[in-house]
């Protein structure tokens, strides 16, 4: 049977950038906090949160499911877009589904809020049909999560508020020759050198506020 796709739109009064940070980028932390009965915890099994990351989502006592494995397929923070797939777990109906893929985009609305547009694609195995009840459950679950986070952000208006600063994230890879190990002291030196350079430039920019304007 061919994949079954449905679209869903959920509106809220939170601006898209703030909603994206909470609903997508910090979902692993905020969802167990606002809906612990639905999701108990999220653990990263592989990766650093970017594309290819595998997460284990453990459901709460209020859920009929135990857990799923979730793979990050795309992250576009600039456009508030995110794609992921459920690749393992009892949500896949004991093997009747190969995976469920989601494409999420949060767009601005004229009133200053946002609309979350989600495209969900169910990939069945063989000729199995997708039950309408299964799709309905997925829609209701997504709506509950989104609205719970909206409520949390209204109750905590300073959450995810930008401070106007920045964070420099660096991934350093040492490529040794042969079987030589990289000394921990060498890695420490590299970190300290990078930190010193960054902070020196920060100090210069504070002392020269009109530079690069």
Per domain, the residue ranges of the chain are 4-155, 166-213
CA distances to 15, 56, 100 from 71, rounded to whole Å, are 26, 9, 10
Q: Say if residue 91 is exposed, middle or buried (CB neighbours under 10 Å; 0-12, 13-18, 19+).
A: buried
Full pLDDT tens readout for the chain, 213 residues: 788 999 999 999 999 999 999 999 999 999 999 999 999 999 999 999 899 999 999 999 988 889 999 999 999 999 999 999 999 998 887 668 899 999 999 999 999 999 999 999 999 887 667 778 888 888 998 999 999 999 999 999 888 875 567 788 888 888 888 877 878 888 888 898 998 998 899 888 888 877 886
Superfamily of domain 4-155: START domain (3.30.530.20)
Q: Residue 147's CB: how many other CB atoms inside 10 A? A: 14
3-state secondary structure of 9: strand
Q: How many angstroms separate the CA atoms of 25 and 204, rounded?
A: 31
pTM above 0.95, yes or no: no
């Amino acid at each position: 049977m061919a994949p079954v796709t449905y679209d869903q739109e959920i509106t809220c009064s939170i601006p898209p950038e703030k909603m994206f940070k909470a609903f997508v980028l910090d979902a692993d932390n905020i969802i167990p906090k606002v809906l612990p009965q639905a999701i108990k915890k999220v653990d990263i099994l592989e990766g650093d949160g970017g594309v290819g990351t595998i997460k284990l989502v453990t459901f709460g006592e209020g859920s009929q499911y135990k857990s799923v494995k979730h793979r990050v397929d795309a992250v576009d923070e600039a456009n508030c877009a995110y794609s992921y797939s459920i690749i393992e777990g009892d949500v896949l109906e004991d093997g009747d589904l190969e995976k469920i893929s989601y494409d999420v985009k949060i767009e601005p609305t004229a009133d200053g809020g946002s609309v979350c547009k989600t495209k969900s694609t169910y990939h069945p195995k063989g000729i199995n049909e997708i039950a309408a009840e299964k799709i309905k459950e997925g829609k209701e679950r997504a709506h509950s999560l989104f609205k719970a986070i909206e409520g949390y952000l209204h109750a905590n208006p300073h959450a995810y508020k930008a401070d106007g600063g920045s964070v420099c994230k660096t991934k350093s890879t040492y490529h040794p020759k042969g079987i030589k190990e990289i000394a921990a002291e060498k890695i420490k030196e590299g970190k300290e050198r990078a930190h010193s350079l960054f902070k020196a430039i920060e100090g210069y920019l504070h002392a020269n506020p009109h530079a690069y304007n």
